[in-house]
Amino acid sequence: MSKTEREKMAAGDWYTCINPELEEMRITARNAVHEHNTLPPAHRGNIGPQLKTLMRTVAADTWIETPFHCAYGFNISLADGVYINAGCVFLDTAPLTIGSDTMLGPAVQIYCAQHHQDAEKRTAGLEVALPVTIGRRVWIGGGAIILPGVEIADDSIVGAGSVVVKNVPAGARIAGNPARPLAKPVR
């Protein structure tokens, strides 16, 4: 029996994202995100109720500012004390895990989806989902982009506007496009 596109996505195999089952899940996520983004803060709390229910795991003291966008939601795990500033985008086609006491600046983008390099296959919706893991006590500056498959270890700092294309070791300070280690701390 062949795998469904969702099963292929979950297994880290190439799959077609242009698919009715996946589209239904994206619609569910869009509805949850819409609720989160439009509820008055007093009614929303730290995270909108639908969005909180949709996510894999989310600690009670995690905070997501509005606006926020995610592709599916169910692949997102947020630990204690995570703060996600306004305008962040998570394309969570694979597990996206953020460790405790990590802060994301405004407009941080985290991508798990990697599209095929062959134009015809890419046009047909072929992509692969690669997990992104961000450790504890990490600070990611505003406008940074984290690419598929990247791991950022504990206590690291990613400078604003950086494009992170490879793994970041614990305690590192990186910045740039592509992001590179810095000799001096990020200011």
CB 155 within 8 A of CB 138: yes
Q: What is the pLDDT of residues 9-64, one digit of tens each?
A: 999 999 999 999 999 999 999 999 999 999 999 999 999 999 999 999 999 899 99
User: Residue 184 above 80 pLDDT?
Assistant: no
Tell me the pLDDT band of 187, cut-offs 50, 70 and 90: low
Task: Fold for 5-181, please state it.
Answer: UDP N-Acetylglucosamine Acyltransferase; domain 1 (2.160.10)
Q: Which has more confidence, 100 or 60?
A: 100
* DSSP calls for 116-172: -SSHHHHHTTEEEE--EEE-TT-EE-TT-EE-TT-EE-TT-EE-TT-EE-S-B-TT-
Q: What is the pLDDT of residues 112-143, one digit of tens each?
A: 999 999 999 999 999 999 999 999 999 999 99
Q: Give the residue-averaged pLDDT of 97-104.
A: 98
Tell me the pLDDT band of 177, cut-offs 50, 70 and 90: very high
Residues annotated as catalytic (active site), given as ranges: 115
Q: pTM value?
A: 0.94
